Amino acid sequence: MTNIKEMVIISGKGGTGKTSLAGALSSLFQDRIIADCDVDAANLHLILQPEEVLQTKEFTGGKKAKIDPERCTKCGACKEACRYDAISENFVIDPFSCEGCGACYFLCPAKAVDFSPRLAGHYYICSISGNGRFVFAELLPGEDNSGKLVAAVRNEAREEAVKTGVNFILIDGPPGIGCPVISSITGTHLAVVVTEPTPSGIHDLKRIVELTHHFQVKTALVVNKWDIHPGYTREMKQYCAENDLIFLGQIPYETAITKAQKEAKTILDFAPECAASGAIREIYTKLHDILEEA
Amino acid sequence: MQYTHDEGMKVMKDMNIAFASGKGGTGKTTVAVNLAFFLAYSRQQVQYLDCDVEEPNGHIFLKPEVHTRTPAMVMVPVIDQDKCTHCGECSEKCQFNALVTLPSNVLLFPELCHGCGLCVSICPEEAISEGKREIGFIEKGKAIQDIDFVHGILNVGEPMAGPVIQEVKHQYRKEHIRVIDAPPGTSCPVVKTIHDADVVVMVTEPTPFGLHDLQIAVSVAQNLGKPIGVVINRQNGEFPPLVTYLLNNSLPVLMVLPEDIEIARCYSRGELIIKTLPLYIDQFMELAVNIGRLLGKKKGGR
Ligand code: SF4
Ligand code: SF4
Ligand code: SF4
Ligand code: SF4
C-alpha cells in the first residue's frame, strides 16, 4: 500500500484565482507531483514552465458519426433516429451537434455510416525544475469536456508518484460542478475550494460543497480577494463552521497577482513580501498539516 | 461611413448576441448583463438568456421576478423486466455505458444516459419504453428595465448541461435583441450555445492565461464560422502579446474595461456597473455600436 495523499483545488466557477493559488502552492510543496486537470483550458503550465516534455500520449474520446454519400440511399432512417438534429436535409452530419450515440450507425440499413473513435486530445508528462514532475492535458477545441481525460491525467500522476516515490499529488481541478469536476475530486483526501466574497461566490460555494459532500470528500475553503467585501467573507467563515468545512485562509485583493501572471511567475516569486504571499504561506502550512494527518 | 447609435440598434434586433470566454471569471456575465441593461434602457426590447446552466449568475444583477418555472426533462429508458431476455444487446450498443446487463436484470445508471433513444429502437424484445427524468429547470420572468429573462439551472451532480441549454433556447422571443450568456470554456455546452449566434463576443483578460484561453475559444467560434469581437476586461497596462494576436487575426476590440477595484466591489454587491458607476456608460454605448457594426458587416457580406 502506498500512502500518497491527493489534494485537489477547485472553484464553483472559473476565475477565482484557483490556478494562481495552485501555482504558488506547487512551489511550496517539495515532495509532490502536480497535475493540471483543467483539461478544457489548461493554464498551470504557463506558470510552472516545464523544462521538458518527457512523454506525450494521445487521448481518444467518444465516437462520431460520418455518412458516406456513396453508400447512402437517402432513406432517412438516420435522420429520424437522431435526437440531436445533427443530420441535415441532404444527409451530412454536423460534428458539433453529434453526441456520438451511434443510433444512425446501428440503424442505417445501407451501412453507410462510419462510426470510429476520434482523437480528442493529448496529455503530457513533463519535468519541472527541482526534478519534479508535472502532468497536464489539452483537449482539442470543441471536443467533449470529458471526465475520462481527467481520470487519465490523475492515473498518470499516480503512476509517476509511485515511480518517483513522492508523497503528495497536487491537482489543479476544473472549474464548475460538471462531469470533469466529479472526476477530479472522487477519492481525493482533500478538496480546497477557492472562492470570492460576492453573491455569486456564495451561491457557487454552496453548490460545489453539495458536490464534495455528496462524494464524501473532506473540504476546505480559501477566500480570495476577501477585502472586496468583508461582510461576505464573514458569512463564508460562518458557513464553514456550520457545514463541517475547514477554513484555510483568506487572501487580500492584490494587483501584483495580475502583474505576476503577465510575467508568468507565481506571486511568491514576484512579490514575496506582499500580504497575499504571506497569506498563501500560511495556507500552505495548514494544508501540509492536514494532509500529513489525512 | 458614419455609423450611428440608432442604426446599430436596428441591426441588432432579432439577433443572437452570445457572450463567451475561454474560461470563467473573465467578466463575461458582467459585460452581458450591463449591455442588456444598457440596450433596454435605450428602449430596445431585450431578452436575456442565461445558458451558463451549471452556474447561472445573471439573475443576481438583473433581479428578475420569476413567473414560470418548468422542469427540464430528459428521456430515460424504462425496462420491462418481464419482457427482457437479458440478451445484452442494449448495454453493448449504448455508447455511454449507461446500461449493464446482469443475468437477472438490466441496470440503468441514469446520470450516464444521454437520452438518445437507441436502446429503445434496438431491443429485439421491445422491452424498453421511454420514461422521463428531471435534470434541472427553466425559470422565466421580467427583470429590471422590462428585460425578458430566461435561465436554466442544472441540478447538482447532473453532468449533462446540453438538454437544459436546449430548453433555454426554445424560449427565444422574436423581435428582441437576444443577449445570451454562454457557459465558460470551449467544450460541448459552449458549442451548443453559440451554434446559432449571429455574433460572438469574447470577453478576455490581458494576461498569458487570458490569451491562451482566448485562442482556444476563438478557434472554436471560427470553426463554426461566427463573426467574433473581443472585449478586454481588467486592463491594467497593455499586454503586447494580446495586441499582436488580435491584429494578426483581425479580431476587432469592441470595448476595454480597466482593472478597477470599484468594479470588483460593485460586482460583489450584485450591482450593475452602469448604474453604480455611470462613467462607464459610454463604454457600453461603444460596445453596442461596435456589435452593430460587426452584425452589419455580416449582413452585408452575405
Ligand atoms: S440511414 Fe443510412 S442510407 Fe438511410 S439516409 Fe441515413 S445514412 Fe443514408
Ligand atoms: S451518432 Fe447519434 S447524434 Fe451523432 S449523428 Fe448519429 S444519431 Fe445523431
Ligand atoms: S436489449 Fe432488450 S431484451 Fe436485450 S437485454 Fe436489453 S432490454 Fe433486455
Ligand atoms: S437512451 Fe441512449 S444513452 Fe440512454 S441508456 Fe439508452 S442507449 Fe444508452
Residues in CB range of B88: below 8 A, 6 or more apart: B101
Condensed to tens digits (0 to 9), the pLDDT of residues B115-154 reads 999 999 999 999 999 999 999 999 999 999 999 999 999 9
Chain B residues inside the 8 Å CB shell of A173: none
ipTM of predicted complex: 0.77
Instruction: Give pLDDT, residue B299.
Output: 56
Average pLDDT over every residue of B194-221: 90
Q: Which three cell numbers stand for residue B91?
A: 448495454
A46–B contact, CB cutoff 8 A: yes
Cell of A202: 456564495
Q: What is the pTM of this model?
A: 0.78
| Residues β-bridged to residue A266 | none
Most ligand 3 atoms within 8 A of CB, residue of B128, B129, B130 to mutate = B128
Chain A with chain B: Cβ pairs closer than 8 A: 173
| Whether A179 contacts chain B with CB within 8 A | yes
pLDDT digits (tens, 9 = 90+) for B56-110: 989 999 999 999 999 999 999 999 999 999 999 999 999 988 898 988 889 998 8
Query: pLDDT confidence of B50, banded at 50, 70, 90?
Result: very high
Q: Which atom of ligand 1 sits closest to the CA of residue A67?
A: 7
pLDDT confidence of residue B100: 87
Ligand 2 binding pocket mutation candidate from A64, A72, A84 (most atoms within 8 A of CB): A84
Q: What is the pLDDT of residue B220?
A: 85
Which pLDDT score is estimated for B302? 39
At B8 the pLDDT is: 63
Q: Please list every protein residue whose CB sits less than 6 Å from any atom of ligand 3.
A: B 79, 84-90, 101, 106, 123, 125, 127-128
- Separation between Cα atoms, residue A158 and residue A219, nearest integer Å: 21
Q: Chunked in runs of 10, what are the mean pLDDT values of chain A (294 residues)?
A: 84 79 88 88 84 90 90 95 92 88 96 91 87 87 75 92 91 82 89 91 88 90 92 94 93 86 86 90 92 82
Q: Which string of DSSP letters, residue by residue, matches B194-262?
A: HTT-SEEEEEE-SSHHHHHHHHHHHHHHHHTT--EEEEEEEE-S--HHHHHHHHHTTPPEEEEEE--HH
Q: Do B156 and A14 touch (CB under 8 A)?
A: no
Q: Taking residues B177-183, report their average pLDDT.
A: 93
In DSSP terms, A9 is beta-bridged to A172, A192
Q: How far is B52 from chain A (nearest CA, A)?
A: 10
* pLDDT tens-place string over residues B212-269: 889 988 988 988 889 999 999 998 888 899 999 999 999 999 999 998 888 888 888 8
Return the pLDDT at A200.
82
Contact B58, B151 (CB under 8 A): yes
How far, in Å, CA of B101 to CA of A56, rounded?
36
Instruction: Report how far ligand 2's centroid is from the alpha carbon of A81 (Å).
Output: 8
Q: Is A76 in the pocket of ligand 1 (CB under 6 A)?
A: yes
pLDDT of residue B164 exceeding 60, the answer is: yes
